Amino acid sequence: MILDLSDDTVLHELWTVQRLAYAVEAELIGFDGIPPLHESLDELRACDETFLGLYDEEGLAGAVSYRLDGSTVDICRLVVHPRAHRRGIASKLLDALPDGPQVVSTGTRNEPALALYRRRGFVETGTREVAPGVSLTDLSR
């Protein structure tokens, strides 16, 4: 389902899940400078990405955002509430994305995310340093 970020309740749910999810990644990669981890509600609302969300009995379980670059789906964020880990939420969100070539980046030391993307058919296309000792791995499918 498309998330309407003009709805304050939806925006706050997404912001909360995003902060929890990126806090887990920050711990995994040893770097808390992940931009969405420090994003304000207003910055999130204005990010110009399309968000798809998946709800469970407790609320928003996860979300994925993307931008279209021609026919390429540029996956900007994939966040899952820690209470919903290991339940297939991320895979379902990836399946809900538009058809076409897809690109994504994640922390090189975020092995759970890399494993997910590999299982879903993504291949690594490179790495880049974003801070001293911190790199991102780029993937595509």
The CATH class given to the 8-140 domain equals alpha beta
- So what's the pLDDT on residue 130? 87
Q: How far apart are CA 24 and CA 30, in angstroms?
A: 10
DSSP H helices, the chain, are 8-29, 41-45, 89-95, 111-119
pTM for this prediction: 0.94
Q: How far apart are CA 118 and CA 112, in angstroms?
A: 10
- So what's the pLDDT on residue 131? 87
Over the chain (141 residues), what is each successive 10-residue block's mean pLDDT? 96 97 92 91 96 97 96 97 95 96 96 96 96 93 96
Q: What is the residue extent of each domain of the chain?
A: 8-140
Enumerate residues 6+ apart whose C-beta is below 8 A from 7. Answer: none
